[in-house]
Amino acid sequence: MGKLIKADLFRILKSKLFLIVAIISLAFPVFMTLMYLALDKILVASAGLTGMSGLGMTGRALLSESFVMSSNMGLILPIFITLFIAMDVSNGTLRNKIIAGRSRKEIYFSHLITASIVSGALILVNVLLFMGCICLVYGYGVPINAEEFVRLVYFFVTGLVTFVFSAAVSTAITLSIQTSAPAVIISTIVGMGLSLITSILHTADLTLTNKWFCLIPTYTNSTFLASGTFDAGSFWLGILSYAVVGMLITLFGLTVFCKKDIK
């Protein structure tokens, strides 16, 4: 399994697609920060406002732009992961793995782990850089005490788990379908669908009125992003939801992949 993960990481690092996504991941935070700065200047110049910092825009507040499934990296990463796995099928290198005696389980999990590592690493770099840039310009907003530190840990763990979950969904869809175009479309629809359900629940002002909503994947993440406070119970329910739904999706993907003929 380790060797297969090494092979997949080798392939991903050699792909142009990865280079493009990595550049986007690095450039986007800088671009967003510059955009906020420009907006700041326009506001000051046109309306005599004191700028975004004066409107309460801080690093802490702008963190809600991160780890969002329905925009930016949240849209790019599932497509990238889907294409990366689909290329293994279309190049025929997936066939090489089977012929070399690798079991389908090994292949599936090596893809899942590689996708999770790459997805997690790219989103983490993206968010940390965004935070760094924003904090550099506007500051964090509140002192980082023990309570705030715990909040940040919750925030990062939930965010990372969201993207690992998304990688698991993309892996299951791609290895079940084994064709890139439909897999990209379905992965995007599933990601957007989950975000949409979460948004509808929020619009209905159900936020935290019922903790069990946290059992809907991505709900915890978006609830957490939307609200200033968050309790440990909701956090663990959210993690449990990702784990259970993620495992069910993985089980489904693995079963289909193991039964299906390789293209």
- Of 11 and 211, which CB lies nearer to another protein in the complex structure? 11
Element (H or E) spanning 26, and its range? helix 16-47
In terms of CB distance, is 16 or 46 closer to another protein? 16
Minimal CA–CA distance to 76: which of 26, 14, 132, 119?
119
**Closer residue to another protein in complex, CB, 94/201:** 94
> For residues 170 and 187, what is the distance between their CA atoms, to the nearest angstrom?
6
Least distance from another protein to the Cβ atom of residue 75, Å: 23
Residue of 164, 141, 192 lying closest to 250 (CA atoms): 164
Residues 6+ apart with CB under 8 A from 155: 63, 67, 224, 225
Nearest approach, Cβ of residue 60 and another protein (Å): 41
Report the residue number, 101 or 143, with the smaller CB distance to another protein. Answer: 101
Q: How far is the CB of 111 from another protein (least distance, A)?
A: 13
Minimum CB distance to another protein, residue 82 (Å)? 17
Contacts with another protein, residue ranges (CB under 8 A) = 3-4, 6-7, 10-11, 14-16, 87, 91-93, 95-103, 259, 261-262
Q: Which amino acid type is present at position 151?
A: R
Determine the Cα angle at 21 with ends 19 and 24, to 5°.
110
